[in-house]
């Protein structure tokens, strides 16, 4: 497990996020069909690109996502939280005047943010990233799920939870956000109380503001990102007119990664998995018979990228919570 260090270390927050590995409204017939289909999928023996290259390109795509989020972080938002925290410490040590100055600074920064983001309810303050990489196969995933079900039937819920919790291959991106809606008013209220020397009440208001920071967690499934990398590489090989078998083998590997993502429960019963798999099969056939073009790969790559963005958005909606 790899962890990217948070760029803002003033606050430490822990959110417990759990993701169901099966859909609540899934029928028994769907479960049986999905398992049967998954077990028929055979992982290709070769990849036709080095594991180091694959790992490096997956990391590059990961960092692109991180950098997008980092670019949204506002220095004024960081200052607001730092000054709020500073004021709490100053009040505790009896420095009320300095605490007032800190709250004044925080309030000014919120005014700047409100002018810059009149329509935004949340402004990012901090981002941290954790990568949990799982090298597995679809049959191994199915065996683990079966074991978890058996433990559940025995009433061993914690054992089952541990087994299911191990079935993660993902990038967890956690963002701490400043709520612009209520934070400025809270600062104004705290300032009024502090000027009246009501330090205990001021502390309570400031503690409430710190607890009002909103945590969003977005999960990027690594198998889907690997599939994207493999599709990119297959297009590169195709454009370089390399051996057709190498191109089709990369397409097979991309298809396997998407099926692995589905087995792990990322967008588990999304019909687009089957659609992309069919498109990959068509692309393999067109490469073999010589009818493939760069456009064939462009459409496939775009469809996979759009799919990834959509299921990531779905997970984000599930995992937003307020601290």
261-271 average pLDDT score:
86
- State residue 47's pLDDT score: 83
User: What pLDDT does residue 138 have?
Assistant: 95
Q: Is residue 257 part of a domain?
A: yes
Q: Look at residue 247 in the predicted model and tell me its pLDDT.
A: 95
Lowest mean pLDDT among 1-5, 16-20, 41-45: 16-20
Q: Between 319 and 56, where is the model more confident?
A: 56
Mean pLDDT of 290-316: 88
Domain boundary among 212, 230, 257: 212
pLDDT over threshold 80, residue 115: yes
Question: Based on the domain organization, do 292 and 181 belong to the same domain?
Answer: no
Is 118 part of any domain? yes
> What is the spatial distance between Cα 319 and Cα 120, in angstroms, rounded to a whole number?
19
Name every residue whose Cβ is closer than 8 Å to that of residue 188 and which is 6 or more positions away in sequence: 107
Same domain, residue pair 111 and 235:
no
**Is residue 5 predicted with pLDDT exceeding 60?**
no
Residue 92 and residue 195 share a domain: yes
Domain contains 135:
no
Domain stop point among 212, 235, 269? 212
Does residue 237 lie within any of the structural domains? yes
pLDDT for the residue numbered 320: 43
Same domain, 242 and 285: yes
Say if residue 115 is in the same domain as residue 198: yes
Clarify whether residues 287 and 195 are in a common domain. Answer: no
Q: Which residue has the higher pLDDT, 310 or 4?
A: 310
Say if residue 208 is in the same domain as residue 226.
no
71-80 in b/e burial notation, b at 16+ Cβ within 10 A? eebbebbbbb
| Residue range of the domain that includes 243 | 222-315
Contacts of 117 (CB under 8 A, 6+ apart): 123, 180
Instruction: Return the pLDDT at 314.
Output: 54
Shared domain for 252 and 190, answered yes or no, is no
Instruction: Tell whether the model's pLDDT for residue 75 goes beyond 90.
Output: yes
- Residues 243 and 200 reside in one and the same domain: no
3-class state of residue 42 by DSSP: coil
Average pLDDT estimate for 29-43: 52
197 with 253, same domain: the answer is no
Q: Mean of the per-residue pLDDT values for the chain?
A: 85
Number of domains in the chain: 2
256 and 194: one domain? no
CATH number at residue 121: 1.20.120
**Domain final residue pick, 188, 212, 236:** 212
* CA–CA gap between residue 142 and residue 35 (Å, rounded): 7
User: Do the beta carbons of residue 310 and residue 202 sit within 8 Å?
Assistant: no
Average pLDDT, integer, range 133-158: 95
pLDDT value for 27 = 39
Does the residue 234 lie in any domain?
A: yes
Q: In the prediction, which pLDDT does 18 show?
A: 30
Residues 182-200 pLDDT 10s: 999 999 999 999 999 999 9
pLDDT at 202 over 70: yes
100 pLDDT more than 90: yes
Q: Given this model, what pLDDT does residue 313 score?
A: 67
> Mean per-residue pLDDT for 242-264?
95
- 89 and 204 in a single domain? The answer is yes
**How much is the pLDDT for 162?**
96
For residue 13, being part of any structural domain is answered with: no
């Amino acid at each position: 497990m790899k962890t990217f260090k948070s760029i803002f270390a003033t606050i430490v927050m822990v959110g417990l996020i759990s993701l169901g590995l099966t859909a609540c409204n899934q029928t028994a017939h769907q479960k049986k069909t999905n398992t049967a289909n998954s077990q028929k999928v055979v992982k290709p023996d070769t990849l036709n690109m080095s594991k180091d290259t694959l790992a490096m390109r997956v990391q590059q795509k990961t960092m692109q996502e991180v950098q997008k989020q980092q670019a949204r972080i506002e220095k004024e938002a960081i200052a607001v939280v730092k000054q709020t925290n500073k004021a709490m410490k100053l009040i505790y040590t009896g420095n009320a005047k300095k605490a007032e100055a800190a709250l004044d600074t925080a309030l000014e920064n919120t005014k700047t943010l409100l002018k810059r983001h009149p329509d935004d309810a949340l402004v990012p303050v901090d981002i941290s990233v954790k990568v949990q990489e799982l090298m597995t196969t679809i049959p191994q995933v199915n065996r683990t799920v079966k074991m978890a079900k058996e433990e559940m039937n025995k009433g061993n819920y914690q054992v089952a939870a541990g087994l299911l919790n191990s079935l993660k291959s993902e990038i967890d991106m956690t963002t701490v956000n400043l709520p612009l809606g209520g934070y400025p008013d809270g600062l104004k209220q705290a300032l009024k109380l502090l000027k009246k020397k009501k330090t205990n009440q001021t502390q309570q208001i400031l503690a409430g503001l710190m607890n009002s920071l909103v945590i969003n967690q977005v999960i990027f499934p690594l198998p889907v990102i690997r599939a994207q990398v493999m599709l990119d590489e297959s297009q590169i090989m195709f454009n370089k007119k390399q051996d057709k078998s190498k191109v089709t083998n990369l397409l097979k590997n991309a298809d396997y990664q998407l099926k692995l993502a589905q087995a792990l429960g990322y967008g588990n019963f999304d019909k687009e998995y089957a659609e992309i798999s069919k498109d990959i099969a068509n692309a393999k056939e067109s490469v073999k018979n010589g009818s493939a073009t760069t456009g064939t790969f462009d459409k496939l790559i775009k469809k996979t990228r759009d799919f990834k963005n959509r299921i990531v958005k779905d997970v984000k909606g599930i995992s937003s919570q307020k601290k």
